[in-house]
């Protein structure tokens, strides 16, 4: 059972759920009303998102409110940072090449 945040956000319904919940916590039934899928199907998605620690639950009577744990989203940002850094290095190298070219022309 592979269960990481990248696999979690691969599904478009799950991404929509995250956006929906980001505004304020919601119950499974309330969430399901926003989609064509059944309540059970949404419940499955909620379980997967919870297993990835993207969601927290707040029980109120027989209702369960799911809320987004926004901090977990940072993990995606951290991964993207790798590419930001690599790109920075690339531009620096490009700068050096351009600088050398200018210097050579002056000779």
Partner DNA sequence: ATTTTGCGAAACCGATTGGTTGCATGTATA
Partner DNA sequence: TATACATGCAACCAATCGGTTTCGCAAAAT
Q: Which does 48 bind (CB under 5 to 8 A by kind): DNA, a second copy, none?
A: DNA
In angstroms, the CA 104 to CA 28 distance is 67
Q: Tell me, rounded to whole angstroms, the distance of Cα 23 from its chain centroid.
A: 15
7 vs 39, beta carbon nearer a second copy: 7
Residue from 5, 20, 27, 75 touching DNA (CB under 7 A): that is 27
Query: Which residues sit at the interface with a second copy, rule CB under 8 A?
Result: 2, 4, 6-7, 9-10, 12, 15, 18-19, 22-23, 68, 70, 73, 76-77, 79-80, 82-83, 86-87
78 vs 102, beta carbon nearer a second copy: 78
| Nearest approach, Cβ of residue 5 and DNA (Å) | 13
Q: Which does 54 bind (CB under 5 to 8 A by kind): a second copy, DNA, none?
A: none
What b/e sequence results for 71-98 when a residue is b if at least 16 CB atoms lie within 10 Å of its CB, and e otherwise? ebeeeeeeeeeeeeeeeeeeeeeeeeee
26: exposed, middle or buried (C-beta count within 10 Å: 0-12, 13-18, 19+)?
A: buried
| Nearest approach, Cβ of residue 42 and DNA (Å) | 8
Q: Which stretches of 5-65 are DSSP H helices? A: 5-8, 12-23, 28-32, 39-51
């Amino acid at each position: 059972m592979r269960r990481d945040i990248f696999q979690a956000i691969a599904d478009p319904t799950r991404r929509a759920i995250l956006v929906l919940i980001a505004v304020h916590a919601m119950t499974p039934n309330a969430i399901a009303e926003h989609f064509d899928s059944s309540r059970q199907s949404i419940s499955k998605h909620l379980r997967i998102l919870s297993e990835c620690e993207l969601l927290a639950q707040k029980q109120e009577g027989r209702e369960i409110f799911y809320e987004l744990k926004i901090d977990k989203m940072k993990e995606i940002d951290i991964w993207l940072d790798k590419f930001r850094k690599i790109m920075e290095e690339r531009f620096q190298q490009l700068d050096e090449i351009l600088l050398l070219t200018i210097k050579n022309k002056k000779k």
